[in-house]
Amino acid sequence: MIAELEKEYLANPTHETAYGLLGAKPWKGNTLVGAEQWVSYQAMPTAALLELEELNDFATFMYCRLNQPNKDHPKELFV
């Protein structure tokens, strides 16, 4: 099962395939000792990456804060 999840992730490295692999074979910090762990290690940052909508929200937040640092922006702008 893990070998299939690794192949699926390597063929299509998305949040979904990364979460599937990490659910079956979690990556643990300070344990990387060889090539047999590389796929889970690679899936970990993929799972942590922001989705497109989350990235857009972050960019909007940063733009507003950098260009108008003293303005109290409406909370619903960042929901």
* pLDDT tens figures, 5-51: 999 999 999 989 999 999 998 877 788 787 778 888 889 888 888 88
The pTM is what?
0.63
Task: Give the residue from 43, 12, 7, 10 showing the smallest Cα distance to 26.
Answer: 43
- Exposed / middle / buried, residue 72 (Cβ in 10 Å: 0-12, 13-18, 19+): exposed
Task: Output the pLDDT for position 22.
Answer: 92
Measured CA to CA, the distance from residue 10 to residue 2 in angstroms comes to 12
Q: How far apart are CA 26 and CA 4, in angstroms?
A: 15
What are the CB-based long-range contacts (under 8 Å, 24+) for 27-32? none
The mean pLDDT value for 43-69 works out to 85
